């Protein structure tokens, strides 16, 4: 099933991911404005609300950039730029239908390695400006990362184990019948949770929380701010989209072509996350850490064990 | 092409590696080391070991991010705003390392390297897995034991509190007395 | 590409790391030197696997061992520094030597 993509796919991928991220951010802004000021009275008002993130990007571009004293500007730049780059690199193995930009032989590990770069990125962006609040944000993300990474790794390993392949295309092929989400529900749930946690978004947004004045992004302005906050949306989109080939059967489905199923499923996962964000309270790091180590990690191990036994007896 | 693919990461790896000990800022030193190790991981991929190269990248990213925290925690001057030297016997070390490199280089360039025996397998990752779960099982189990022992040893070394601190002398306290309240069961 | 440039690079990484490990006073900086040395070992093992013995997986297993050694060294190192810092408020090798007295 591994078809070679056209060469322009390399350039199309960032554009596509950025567009999806912008649409998701717009939908989130629409929901947030709806919760704050009641439903939109006209389609025009709804459109204006949904365009808030795009307006924010333009505003940051023309605004006078702020500087902090004795800031390590080089590290801020590296950190802010690394986050979207990491998300894009992780997206390289994402299949649209049955084609991805590069179906690497160990794509699952590649995805994991690239999203792990977010650790370095957020910490650097938090450390660089020489400001206490942003440093707190950076440290919070590391604490959150230590908690989500182990269950997350086990969850995606479980999917690879079920398919007996580290290739994302291989994982999709293995789900032509039963989706992995059906017989590995724990791994699927953990993957969705860790998608939220790695994008420090929704219930896990403490690293950039309002209680620390924006955390890791507190002192960023201009392009740096756009890159970090945009990279966060990209990471969320990539992680949510990755749950489609890993657990939801990728492009497999009746009637529609593969790419359409991928789009539909990705949109469904993102819509679910947007909905869930408004139903769940924010989680503090120390609570999440203990829950992740005491509950999620053993759960993921048991899930992996069950899948391993099933695979052995297949 | 091959020239670029090898020499750019090679020079970066050694350059960033040397910069680790030149930077005053601990954050810069740590992430310079990360850059060096990422280049090493890239070269491992270039040598045909895709899986291990990516694993090196993954492990080192996580490791260095955590390392940065400890660097900042334990260095006297983490941000390097007031530079100070924290080195000893630099000259002797430089001589030792220079001599060692000369020796290694002489050995590498003059040794009669054997011809390649066999061909790389189509899927080195599969080869590695079969080896670890077959003939090299003992290595794998030793590593597992070492990792487990490390977890226990590091916790024992790093924490000051034991179960008697948490649950009282008779271990009868209903709620553990923790400095940071946790999430499960409380 | 032949094996020599890779091996030379591995040797260079090893020596730079050794220099750091020998000269740094701070234990955490010393560990960074050790990490660099192990990076050189990883590269050398990968080169030897590729150029001399690709048919067996022993070179790859060596890399796994080196990566594990890096992780263990880091974890134990930081735990020791934490214990040391707690008892002596120090993180320097020279001062740790006084512990034996």
Q: Are A230 and A21 in contact (CB under 8 A)?
A: yes
**Interchain contact B166–A (C-beta under 8 A):** no
A110-119, B107-116, C9-18, range with the lowest pLDDT: B107-116
Q: Sign (positive/negative) of CA torsion A89, B29, C73, A289?
A: negative
Confidence (pLDDT) at C63: 93
**Interchain contact B179–A (C-beta under 8 A):** no
State the DSSP code for A313. Answer: T
A49-63, A148-162, B157-171, C54-68, range with the lowest pLDDT: B157-171
Distance of alpha carbon A130 from alpha carbon A71, whole angstroms: 5
Q: Among all residues of chain C, which has the CA nearest to that of B77?
A: C26
| Residue B157 pLDDT grade (very low, low, confident, very high; cuts 50, 70, 90) | confident
Q: What is the DSSP string of B40-97?
A: HHHHHHHTT-HHHHHHHHHHHHHHHHHHHHHHHHH-SSTT-SS----B--HHHHHHHH
Shortest Cα distance, chain B CAs vs residue A12, angstroms: 24
For residue A131, what are its two tokens? 């400001």
Phi first, then psi: what are they for A99, rounded to 5°?
A: -120, 135
Interface test with A, best of B30, B53, B55, B61 (most A CBs within 10 A): B61
Query: Please, which residues 6-65 of chain B have a Cβ atom closer than 8 Å to chain A?
Result: 25, 27-28, 31, 34, 50-51, 54-55, 57-58, 61-62, 64-65
Shortest Cα distance, chain A CAs vs residue B176, angstroms: 14
Q: How many whole angstroms from its chain centre is CA A298?
A: 23
Q: Say what percent of chain B tops pLDDT 70.
A: 92
Chains A and C share 3 or more Cβ pairs within 8 Å: no
* Contacting residues of C for B155, CB less than 8 Å apart: 79
Which position has the higher pLDDT, A54 or B181? A54
pLDDT at A212 over 50: yes
Interface test with B, best of A93, A290, A301 (most B CBs within 10 A): A290
Distance of alpha carbon A146 from alpha carbon A296, whole angstroms: 13
Query: Please, which residues 155-174 of chain B have a Cβ atom closer than 8 Å to chain C?
Result: 155, 157-158, 160
* Contacting residues of B for A139, CB less than 8 Å apart: 69
Q: Are A137 and A205 in contact (CB under 8 A)?
A: no
Confidence (pLDDT) at A150: 92
Please list the helix, strand and coil fractions of chain B in percent, rounded to the nearest 5, in that order.
Answer: 65, 0, 35
HSE-CB of B118 using CA atoms within 13 angstroms: 12
Confidence (pLDDT) at B169: 82
Q: Residue A99's beta-bridge partner residues? A: A96
Q: What is the DSSP string of A112-133?
A: HHHHHHHHHHHHHHHHTT--HH
* pLDDT by 10-residue block (mean), chain C, 101 residues: 89 93 86 92 92 86 93 90 78 61 52
Q: Which uninterrupted H or E stretch holds A96?
A: strand A95-96
Cβ <8 Å between B118 and C55: yes
**What are the sequence ranges of the domains in chain B?**
1-80, 123-170
Show Cβ contacts of residue C87 under 8 Å, excluding neighbours closer than 6 positions.
Answer: none
**Interchain contact B182–A (C-beta under 8 A):** yes
Shortest Cα distance, chain B CAs vs residue C74, angstroms: 8
Q: Which of A5-9, A25-29, B114-118 has the largest mean confidence?
A: A25-29
For residues A237-256, give the mean pLDDT. 88
Shortest Cα distance, chain C CAs vs residue B164, angstroms: 19
Q: Are B167 and B176 in contact (CB under 8 A)?
A: yes
pLDDT at B152 over 90: yes
pLDDT at A81 over 70: yes
CA separation, residue B99 to residues A44, A306, B95, B96 (Å): 75, 55, 6, 5
Question: Left (φ > 0), alpha (ψ -120 to 50) or beta: where does B178 sit?
Answer: beta
Distance of alpha carbon A293 from alpha carbon B184, whole angstroms: 10
pLDDT in tens, B29-57: 899 999 999 999 999 999 988 999 999 99
Domain count, chain C: 1
A201-215, B19-33, B70-84, B152-166, range with the lowest pLDDT: B70-84
pLDDT at A114 over 70: yes
Q: How many CB pairs under 8 A join A and B?
A: 79
Distance of alpha carbon A124 from alpha carbon A243, whole angstroms: 28
Confidence (pLDDT) at C85: 82
Q: What is the pTM of this model?
A: 0.89
Shortest Cα distance, chain B CAs vs residue C38, angstroms: 10
Cβ <8 Å between B49 and C60: yes
| Residue A1 pLDDT grade (very low, low, confident, very high; cuts 50, 70, 90) | very low
Q: Among all residues of chain C, which has the CA nearest to that of B132?
A: C61
Shortest Cα distance, chain B CAs vs residue A124, angstroms: 8
Cβ <8 Å between B86 and C25: yes
CATH number reported for the structural domain that contains residue C51 in this entry: 1.10.287.3510
Confidence (pLDDT) at B146: 94
pLDDT in tens, A151-180: 999 999 999 999 988 889 888 888 888 888
Cβ <8 Å between C25 and B13: no
3-state SS assignment for residue B178: coil
Q: How many whole angstroms from its chain centre is CA A201?
A: 9
- Considering only CB atoms, B127 lies closest to which of C12, C26, C57, namely C57
Q: Say what percent of chain A tops pLDDT 90.
A: 29
Question: What is the CB neighbour count within 10 angstroms for residue A249?
Answer: 23
Q: Are C15 and B100 in contact (CB under 8 A)?
A: yes
pLDDT in tens, B2-23: 788 889 999 999 999 999 888 8
Q: Say what percent of chain B tops pLDDT 90.
A: 39
Q: For residue C59, what are the domain limits?
A: 3-100
A48-57, A204-213, A222-231, C65-74, range with the lowest pLDDT: A204-213
Residue among A295, A294, A191 at smallest CA distance from A245: A191
Please report where in the chains the tokens 């910069």 appear, as a residue: B19
Confidence (pLDDT) at B161: 79
| Residue B185 pLDDT grade (very low, low, confident, very high; cuts 50, 70, 90) | low
Confidence (pLDDT) at A188: 93
Phi first, then psi: what are they for A95, rounded to 5°?
A: -85, 135
């Amino acid at each position: 099933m591994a078809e070679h993509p056209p060469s322009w796919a390399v350039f199309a991928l960032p554009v596509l991911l950025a567009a999806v991220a912008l649409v998701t951010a717009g939908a989130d802004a629409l929901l947030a404005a709806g919760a704050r000021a009641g439903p939109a009275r006209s389609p025009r008002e709804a459109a204006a609300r949904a365009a808030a993130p795009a307006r924010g990007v333009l505003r940051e571009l023309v605004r006078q950039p702020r500087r902090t004293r004795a800031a390590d500007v080089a590290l801020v730049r590296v950190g802010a730029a690394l986050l979207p780059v990491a998300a894009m690199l992780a997206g390289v193995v994402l299949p649209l239908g049955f084609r991805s930009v590069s179906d690497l032989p160990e794509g699952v590990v590649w995805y994991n390695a690239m999203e792990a770069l977010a650790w370095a990125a957020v910490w650097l962006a938090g450390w660089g400006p020489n400001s206490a609040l942003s440093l707190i944000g950076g440290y919070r993300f590391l604490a959150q990362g230590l908690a989500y990474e182990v269950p997350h790794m086990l969850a995606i390993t479980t999917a690879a184990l079920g398919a007996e392949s580290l290739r994302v295309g291989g994982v999709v092929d293995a789900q032509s019948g039963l989706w992995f989400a059906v017989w590995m529900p724990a791994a699927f749930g953990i993957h969705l949770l860790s998608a939220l946690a790695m994008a420090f978004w929704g219930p896990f947004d403490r690293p950039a929380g309002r209680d620390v004045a924006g955390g890791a992004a507190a002192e960023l302005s201009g392009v740096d701010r756009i890159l970090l906050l945009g990279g966060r949306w990209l990471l969320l989109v990539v992680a949510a989209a990755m749950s489609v080939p890993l657990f939801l059967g990728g492009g497999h489905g009746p009637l529609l072509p593969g790419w359409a199923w991928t789009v539909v499923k990705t949109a469904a996962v993102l819509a679910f996350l947007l909905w869930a964000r408004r139903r769940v309270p924010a989680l503090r790091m120390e609570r999440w850490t203990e829950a992740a180590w005491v509950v999620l990690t053993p759960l993921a191990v048991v899930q992996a064990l069950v899948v391993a036994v099933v695979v052995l007896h297949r | 092409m091959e020239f670029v693919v090898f020499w750019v990461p090679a020079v970066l790896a050694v350059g960033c590696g040397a910069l680790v000990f030149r930077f005053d800022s601990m954050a810069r030193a740590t992430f310079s080391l990360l850059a060096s190790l990422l280049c090493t991981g890239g070269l491992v991929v270039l040598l045909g070991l895709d899986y291990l190269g990516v694993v090196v990248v993954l492990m080192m990213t996580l490791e260095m991010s955590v390392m940065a925290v400890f660097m900042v925690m334990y260095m006297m001057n983490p941000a390097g705003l007031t530079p100070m030297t924290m080195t000893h016997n630099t000259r002797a070390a430089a001589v030792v390392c220079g001599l060692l490199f000369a020796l290694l280089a002489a050995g590498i360039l003059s040794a009669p390297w054997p011809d390649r025996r066999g061909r790389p397998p189509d899927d080195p990752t599969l080869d590695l897995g079969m080896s670890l779960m077959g003939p090299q099982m003992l290595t794998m189990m030793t590593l597992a034991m070492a990792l487990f022992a490390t977890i226990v040893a590091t916790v024992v070394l790093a924490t000051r509190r034991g179960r008697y601190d948490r649950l009282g002398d008779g271990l009868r306290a209903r709620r553990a007395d923790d400095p940071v309240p946790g999430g499960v069961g409380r | 590409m032949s094996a020599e440039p890779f091996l030379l690079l591995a040797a260079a990484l090893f020596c730079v790391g050794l220099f750091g490990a020998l000269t740094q006073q701070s234990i955490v900086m010393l560990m960074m030197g050790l990490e660099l040395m192990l990076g050189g070992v990883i590269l050398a093992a990968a080169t030897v696997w590729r150029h001399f013995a690709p048919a067996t997986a022993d070179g790859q297993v060596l890399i796994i061992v080196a990566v594990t050694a890096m992780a263990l060294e880091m974890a134990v190192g930081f735990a020791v520094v934490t214990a040391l810092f707690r008892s002596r408020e120090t993180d320097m090798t020279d001062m740790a030597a006084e512990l034996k007295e």
